[in-house]
Amino acid sequence: MKKSEFGFIGDIATLFGSLPHSGFEPIGDDCTVLPMGDEALVMTTDMLVEDIHFLRGASTAEEVGEKSLMVNISDVAAMGATPIATLLSIALPESAQGEWAEGFMRGYYEASKRENVALVGGDTTASRDRISINVVAIGRAPMTNIKRRSAAKVGDVIAVTGKLGISSKGLVDIMFGDLHTSAAKAHRRGHARTTEGAWLGGRNEVHAMMDISDGIASDIKHIMELSNVGATIELSHIPTDYDIRYATTGGEDYELLLTVEAAEFEAVARALMEATGTTLTAIGTITAEKELTWLDNGMPTDMEIRGFEHF
């Protein structure tokens, strides 16, 4: 019987759970964590596959290079850590060798330079027809700054940085041939809240945190499951310039989804704006009931809201 993506990941975690971790924290968060005294290293890996994550005819090689870095260091930021290095492996068909590969590396380099992240290794190989990219991202933070999906507390405010839905709307624009909209450009390039993630990592009032890669309809459930809590989200409070479905079910926004001590939320939001210029918007509350409730202007809604899964 076919399993969902997250069911498959759960099976992997169970299968390998009995093996020694050599100090690493087990599968289940945006990154694994290796405590090193007062500091911690965090590590993550992510893939981008042609025709799944990008279309060669709709994205420049430079844009794919930039996005490959940004979506990976976003996971590091979600842990409250600062990205410091990556490893890059890429499989290229003959049609992408040469000019396309050079453009990809220029984009990856410019993004790495901007984020002050070193490239310290990797691998290259040929493929039959599609480009496949794998990045390992490494970050560092004080151990006390590490944020986990499992730390949400009943009564916490659920909040998001920035605005949601632009990447999902951009994908739709691309599919309809509108390649030059601001949303399409945002989808092709990706971004990461690295400054904001490290800043939020230093705030004790911030409890759980992750990045939004599959839409909040999926991602809030990871926090709920690992924290053993429920959630209520008010659709009218979700910050977006587009249809609410783009903001709730679409992937690849790479904003931060976090829970904050309720009494301190306004102070944290003001301080984040002052420090980084980024908004923090309250969209809901962590509850004791282990279910997800969607409200529309205060009333429960039966609108079908499901996040993205690869299978």
The amino acid at 225 = E
Residues in the chain: 311
More confident residue, 10 or 158: 158
Give the mean model confidence (pLDDT) for residues 186-197: 95
Quick one: pLDDT at residue 250?
A: 87
Q: What is the pLDDT of residues 241-261, one digit of tens each?
A: 999 999 999 889 999 999 999
- Does residue 309 carry a pLDDT above 80? no
Average pLDDT rounded to a whole number, residues 213-227? 95
Mean pLDDT of all residues in the chain? 94
The answer to whether the beta carbons of residues 196 and 161 sit under 8 Å apart is: yes
All structural domains of the chain: 9-145 (3.30.1330.10), 149-300 (3.90.650.10)
Residue 91's pLDDT is: 98
CA distances from 63 to 105, 106, 186, 296 (A): 10, 9, 10, 37
Query: For residue 220, what is the enclosing H or E element?
Result: helix 216-227
Give the model confidence (pLDDT) of 105-162 as tens digits. 999 999 999 999 999 999 999 999 999 999 999 999 999 999 999 999 999 999 999 9
Amino acid at 260: V
Residue 26 pLDDT class (50, 70, 90 cuts): confident
Supply 24's token pair: 């690493």
